[in-house]
Amino acid sequence: MDKRLAGWGSGFLGVLIFSGSLPATRLAVADFTPLFLTSARAAIAALLGALCLFTLRQAQPERRDLLPLAIVALGVVIGFPLLTALALLHITAAHSIVFIGLLPLSTAVFGVIRGGERPQPAFWLFSMLGAATVAGYALSQDGGGSLTGDLLMLAAIVLCGLGYAEGATLSRRLGGWQVISWALALSLPVMALLTAATWPESFSHVSETGWISLGYVAVFSMLVGFVFWYRGLALGGIAGVGQLQLLQPFFGLMLAAVLLSEAVPWTMIASTLVVVLCVAGARRFA
């Protein structure tokens, strides 16, 4: 199979897994505080990642890899989960998912800065069109959003794009699952302390849905999804494969409607479809 095609296929699987992250987070913050949820999901994923590294006897990263791994940890292990959890206290999952349409542009920008990629000018046209559609929709809505929640989501998108691009660049040397596993392991001491500090007095109030949601964001959103995602970015190109994230709002909106019974107006669906159409154009000129 062509390496580039394999990268797009792997990236698509990663997007499918990530699509459930925000609805699951929305469910989880009903039973857990944002700080506990962020630290607990990272600590669980870090233990699983460390087990894989130890079992498969992976070599330790070199000293030059420590700063990039720290950037990955800051972006996708700490920054994005925490900021989105805080944002979901102010906005609905359906509203927050629309902001995911800005992730391809953020990832592409950092792919140029950190990964040395140089997409064609037409690529930026399609990428910015998709991002503008998403941003325009978000700014036009009164229901489901708030200034605080929107700003938190924008900050989360910036950090996540940086973490994606940095991890993809590092994956070319270390491998996709190794990068996220080492980044998680690097953050484990801090996340373990934060988990202990925010430990609830009782778990009696936690519903079955809350536990399932925590398990999903810990195992799939924090670890398994990155195995496919970083492999896809490394093989297919950061800027190009990163445009697959434009599909994530579409999948996420369906999950929000089915799992959370949240209203999804036709304007949101129309905006998402416009964004999805930008994938083909961006892919061609990446």
Gap between the Cα atoms of 226 and 26, Å rounded? 20
Burial of 147 (0-12, 13-18, 19+ CB in 10 A): exposed
Mean pLDDT on 28-46: 92
Q: pTM of this prediction?
A: 0.81
- How sure is the predictor about 274, in pLDDT bands with cuts at 50, 70 and 90? confident
In order of 107, 135, 156, the CA distances from 160 in angstroms are 8, 17, 6
Mean pLDDT on 214-241: 90
**CB-CB contact of 137 with 271 (8 Å):** yes
Gap between the Cα atoms of 229 and 252, Å rounded? 17
Q: Determine the pLDDT at residue 189.
A: 93
